Each structure stands twice: as structure tokens, then as C-alpha cells.
Amino acid sequence: MSFSSKQEVLDSISKFKGLYDVVRIVDPVKKSVEDKDGMAVHTHCYDFWEKGTTCENCVTSRALIENNTFHKIELKKGNIYLITSCPVQVKGDTYALEMLKDITNTGIIENGSMRSKEELEKSIENLNKKLVIDELTGTYNRRFINERLPADIFFASMNKTRLSLIMIDVDDFKNINDSYSHMAGDLILKEVSEIMKSSIRKNIDWVARFGGDEFLICLNGANEEAAAWIAETVRQSVEKAAIEYQDNTINTTLSIGIYTLDGEDITAEELLKRADMNMYEAKKLGKNTIVQDKMNYLLLK
């Protein structure tokens, strides 16, 4: 859909206004509400849910990334909301049109079947997490990266803070699968994931499985020194870990690339590419190695 103004977007669905409790236009990168029910506002989209941070399962980002309409369920003060989000073009810029409907008493979801408010909250939280969590490792998945990383880059730019991205590859992972079986490989990935998750700050940083045996860690507000310290902590912990599988003890190492944003205006794709290039340079240098920003090599063995 393409419109000449945000007001035209809202006017176009005014005849359906009775079907929704809130209608708003959202910038999915800035996470800002551009218009709400025809009035300009200056709040974050997630403020409505009173969570204080961006949603893990961001349906507005998914709508724009996949250029389609999506739905999800959220909870606010015991009330259940159905969110519908679809992409709209306004003067060449892409936004998400969000329509929120309180469905608590509609029977769509049986609130009464839940034993408590806490159980209902947990049920909806688990439902949303399933869409952004990697089933094997418990880290975030590629979809979460695509939705979250652009927003984190934007906030780092707006707040004039640094953001460090750590790209990690498990060394000789194919040989582990070939020598000990894919079950052993899965155990390695789970152990590496637990080490990474235990090495970062909760609710600030995050870990995701990029694909196969590659992972990334996003450190919000972290400078080069902090990123290097986290990377080295993870590298050493994995090197020392011994995975027991049947009658075998399996050891592995990591190749790690780091790139830190410091006021640069680049896309999430470019940031991933730079961290990825450093990670591959670490492999070329002999593995079990860290390569940091702009090809300044940190050889930590």
C-alpha cells in the first residue's frame, strides 16, 4: 500500500475504526509511534506494553522484512490484545500500520482456562519466544537478528554510544560431526551456547545462532576493550570445556571476529559483514583466535 501522507493511511481505515482499540503508524527501526489515531505522538511502540524495552517478537519488523501482514498476541495488565501489522509506503518511506484489538472477552483465547494471571502471561510469552528462539541451542534465531540488530544500531547512533558485534565459529565442527556423530555436534553447540549466554549482561546484550555452527553476540554500549574481554572469556571457557559423549571426551575451540561501531552510519548487513570478515581472518590465522576491528589483529591463544 502506498499513501501520500500518514493521515491518509489513518483515514483509509477509519471505516474500520470500531473493529480496533488502537490504530497507529510505527517506524520499526526507530521503534517510534509516528501517528496514533490521527495524532502525532513521540513515544516508543513498546511503551504501550509497559515493558521498558523492545519486544523480542517484533511483528512490525517482520511485516516490513517479509512485506506481508502478520499477527501476534500480547498481554497488558491482564488484557489480551491481538496485534495486526502490515507494511505501508508514505512518500517513499516504509512504515508499519499497527492495529490493536482487546480480545480478552471475545472467547478467542480462553482466559478463564488459565489458573492465574501469571500462567496466562507465561503462556503468551512462550508463544512469542518460540518464533525467535533457536530450538536446539536456546539462543535467538536468524529472524531475531534481522528484526533486532537494525534497531540496536539505530539506538546506538541516536544515543551516541558504541555497539560491538562478535561473530563466532566453532572450529573443525564438520570433523566433530563426522568423527563422533551429529548428536555429539549438537552437544557441542549447546555447550558453546550456554557459555556465551552466561558471559553477557542479561536484558542488555544478546546471543543468536547465525546459522549452522556460527553465532553472534551483540553487546550494546560496549567499547573495543569490553568486547575483547567478553570474546576472550568465551574463547578460554570453550577451550577448557570437555564434552563427554559416550566414551569420548571432545574438545573444541572458536574462531572469533569483532567489530565495534563508534559513530559510523552503516547498515546491519554491513556490520555483520565486517564482523564476519574478521572471523574468517581468525580462521586463516590458525583458529582458536580473535581478530578485532578494522583488521587490527588480537591474537589471543
pLDDT for 79:
85
Question: pTM for this structure?
Answer: 0.82
Please determine, for residue 117, whether its predicted confidence score (pLDDT) is greater than 80.
no
Please determine, for residue 132, whether its predicted confidence score (pLDDT) is greater than 70.
yes
The whole-angstrom separation of Cα 34 and Cα 13 is: 16
pLDDT for 299:
44
pLDDT for 116:
66
Cell of 232: 576472550
The whole-angstrom separation of Cα 87 and Cα 65 is: 9
Q: What is the mean predicted confidence (pLDDT) over 181-202? A: 96
DSSP the chain: -EESSHHHHHHHTGGGGGG-SEEEEEETTTTEEEEETTEE---BGGGGGT-SS--SS-HHHHHHHTTS-EEEEEEETTEEEEEEEEEEEETTEEEEEEEEEE-TTSSSS-GGGSSSHHHHHHHHHHHHHHTTB-TTTSSB-HHHHHHHHHHHHHHHHHTT--EEEEEEEETTHHHHHHHH-HHHHHHHHHHHHHHHHHTS-TTT-EEEEEETTEEEEEEET--HHHHHHHHHHHHHHHHH--EEETTEEE---EEEEEEEESS----HHHHHHHHHHHHHHHHHTTSS-EEETTTEEE---
Residue 134 designated active-site: no
- pLDDT tens profile 73-116: 888 888 889 999 988 888 888 888 888 999 887 765 555 455 56
Backbone angles phi and psi of 279, in degrees to 5: -65, -40
Please determine, for residue 176, whether its predicted confidence score (pLDDT) is greater than 70.
yes
Q: Does domain 142-298 have CATH number 3.30.70.270?
A: yes
Question: Among residues 213, 247, 262, 293, which one is catalytic?
Answer: 213
pLDDT for 301:
40
pLDDT greater at residue 14 or residue 221: 221
Please determine, for residue 203, whether its predicted confidence score (pLDDT) is greater than 90.
no
Q: Which CATH class is domain 2-130?
A: alpha beta
Domain positions in the chain are 2-130, 142-298
pLDDT greater at residue 134 or residue 1: 134
